[in-house]
């Protein structure tokens, strides 16, 4: 494998920063849920199992800041707030789905590699592996 472009440290920092955002557990789940369509906060909270209100708020703010999600407030009492993916967010969804497909397709090979590694490192005895 040869590099396709010259290494630029500033680019690496940007890539690392954005991968931290879009690759974290909650952001991926929120993006996948919003891939089904526009949702309100409590719908997302219900659909993203285990996320706290605070973490969902922080995740949505980060995704909105990065231009992946839009937040629309409707002037009702109480105010209605909806979230949806932007065009950029939809392009990320395609990548997330492709990565998920890759994991499913390669799950067995990964599990086998882990087993061999753990066995060689003495983390699992051969009889436990059977």
| Main-chain dihedrals φ then ψ at residue 72, nearest 5 degrees | -115, 125
Alpha carbons 76 and 62: distance in angstroms, whole number: 25
Tokens of 111: 């599990």
Count CA within 13 A, CB hemisphere, residue 42. Answer: 1
Fold of 9-129: Arc Repressor Mutant, subunit A (1.10.10)
Domains of the chain by residue range: 9-129
> Closest Cα to residue 53, out of 40, 42, 62, 64?
42
pLDDT by residue (tens digit) across 38-48? Answer: 999 999 999 99
Specify the pLDDT at position 90: 96
Specify the pLDDT at position 29: 95
pTM of the predicted model as reported, rounded to 2 decimal places: 0.77
pLDDT by residue (tens digit) across 73-113? Answer: 999 998 899 999 999 999 999 999 998 899 999 999 999 99
């Amino acid at each position: 494998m040869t590099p396709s472009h010259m290494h630029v440290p500033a680019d690496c920092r940007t890539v690392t920063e954005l991968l931290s955002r879009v690759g974290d557990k909650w952001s991926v789940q929120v993006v996948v849920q919003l891939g089904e369509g526009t949702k309100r906060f409590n719908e997302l909270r219900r659909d993203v199992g285990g996320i706290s209100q605070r973490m969902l708020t922080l995740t949505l703010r980060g995704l909105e800041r990065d231009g992946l999600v839009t937040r629309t407030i409707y002037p009702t009492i109480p105010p209605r707030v909806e979230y949806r993916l932007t065009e950029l967010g939809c392009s990320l969804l395609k990548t997330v789905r492709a990565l998920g497909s890759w994991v499913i397709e390669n799950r067995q090979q990964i599990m086998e590699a882990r087993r061999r590694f753990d066995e060689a490192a003495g983390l699992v005895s051969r009889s436990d592996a059977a």
